[in-house]
């Protein structure tokens, strides 16, 4: 286990990396339902992205990949995004149930018999085609490919994960402006440090008729800041604990 110290607007805290591959056993004991802070929380994709852009100039975790507590479930063409916490930092019942389905490799390989239980508060459901805008060539912009800043700004699944109030209900909303800020800052750093023009691709597991459940891992700026839910996307697991 390695500790990476960062600043946070909420106060002095430390980010703790967990390398143990037995994910399920590590997650649940560390989940503490705390209001108005991140103590003990297994960080969501939105939290991790906010940390990266807020702390980049002080602490630069180059070429790291972080498993987030934001979950992606697919079954055929249906895709469900599971946001783990509301704005008070309370873990949803659906997320807690879903965590219990994750195996030691960070995936729920076939959850077809549990599919109908992956619903409720914090769960957003669309067909694959509706999570992405269609390009002039017919491709889904951002699906398994990186995006320009303008494309990322208009990507429904990315903005849902970031808590844009247009896409999520008030219990999970972080505001449109905050989503804009995170995307804009990621591209600003990516262009400045690496010359990247395209970033933040949304990489999905192979589509099948089985119900598949995975964490959404987040790449740092140096890895194009992608969201990755493929079979090979395991990352370090990050928790916040009081300093």
Q: Pick the most confident of 25-34, 94-103, 162-171, 229-238.
A: 162-171
Rg for the chain, CA atoms, rounded: 17
Chain centroid to Cα 230, Å, comes to 13
Residue 106 is predicted with a pLDDT of 52
Mean pLDDT value across the chain: 78
| 103 band by pLDDT with thresholds 50, 70 and 90 | low
Contact 167, 156 (CB under 8 A): yes
Rounded to whole angstroms, the Cα distance separating 88 from 185 reads 25
Rounded to whole angstroms, the Cα distance separating 188 from 240 reads 26
The pLDDT of residue 133 is above 90? yes
Question: Dihedrals φ, ψ of 136, to 5°?
Answer: -65, -20
Residues 78-101, mean pLDDT to the nearest whole number: 87
Based on DSSP, count helices (H) and strands (E) in the chain, helices before strands: 6, 10
Closest CA to 55 of 237, 216, 220, 191: 220
Residue 78, beta-bridge partner list: 75, 127
Q: How many CA atoms lie within 13 A of 214 on its CB side?
A: 25
Q: DSSP for 123-176, please give it.
A: EEEEEGGGSSPBPTTS-BTTBTS-B-HHHHHT-HHHHHHTT-TTTS-GGG---H
Residues 49-57, mean pLDDT to the nearest whole number: 76
Tokens of 175: 């505001």
| 238 band by pLDDT with thresholds 50, 70 and 90 | low
Q: Which residues contact 121 (CB under 8 A, 6 or more apart)?
A: 86, 92, 93, 94, 171
Rounded to whole angstroms, the Cα distance separating 78 from 238 reads 28
Closest CA to 106 of 208, 230, 4, 211: 230
Give this prediction's pTM.
0.81
Residue 41 is predicted with a pLDDT of 63
| 57 band by pLDDT with thresholds 50, 70 and 90 | low
| 107 band by pLDDT with thresholds 50, 70 and 90 | low
Name the more confident of 26 and 167: 167
Residue 215 is predicted with a pLDDT of 86
Q: Range with the lowest mean pLDDT among 48-62, 64-78, 229-243?
A: 229-243
Contact 33, 41 (CB under 8 A): no
Residues 72-77, mean pLDDT to the nearest whole number: 93
């Amino acid at each position: 286990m390695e500790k990476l110290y960062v600043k946070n607007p909420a106060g002095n805290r430390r980010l703790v990396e967990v390398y143990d591959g037995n994910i399920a056993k590590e997650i649940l004991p560390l989940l503490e339902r705390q209001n108005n802070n991140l103590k003990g929380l297994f960080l969501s994709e939105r939290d991790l992205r906010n940390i990266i852009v807020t702390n980049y100039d002080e602490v630069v975790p180059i070429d790291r990949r972080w498993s987030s507590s934001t979950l992606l479930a697919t079954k055929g063409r249906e895709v469900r995004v599971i946001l783990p916490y509301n704005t008070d930092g309370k873990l949803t019942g659906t997320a807690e149930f879903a965590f219990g389905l994750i195996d030691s490799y960070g995936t729920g390989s076939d959850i077809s018999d549990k599919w109908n239980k992956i619903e409720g508060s914090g769960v957003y459901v669309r067909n694959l085609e509706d999570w992405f805008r269609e390009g002039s060539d017919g491709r889904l912009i951002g699906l398994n490919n990186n995006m320009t800043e303008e494309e990322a700004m208009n990507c429904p699944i990315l903005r849902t994960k970031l808590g844009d109030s247009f896409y999520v209900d008030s219990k999970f909303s972080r505001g449109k402006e905050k989503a804009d800020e995170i995307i804009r800052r990621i591209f600003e750093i990516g262009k400045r440090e690496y010359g990247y023009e395209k970033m933040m691709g949304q990489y999905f597991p192979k589509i099948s008729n089985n119900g598949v459940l995975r964490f959404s891992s987040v790449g740092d700026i140096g890895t194009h800041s992608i969201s990755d839910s493929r079979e090979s996307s395991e990352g370090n697991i990050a928790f916040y604990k009081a300093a």
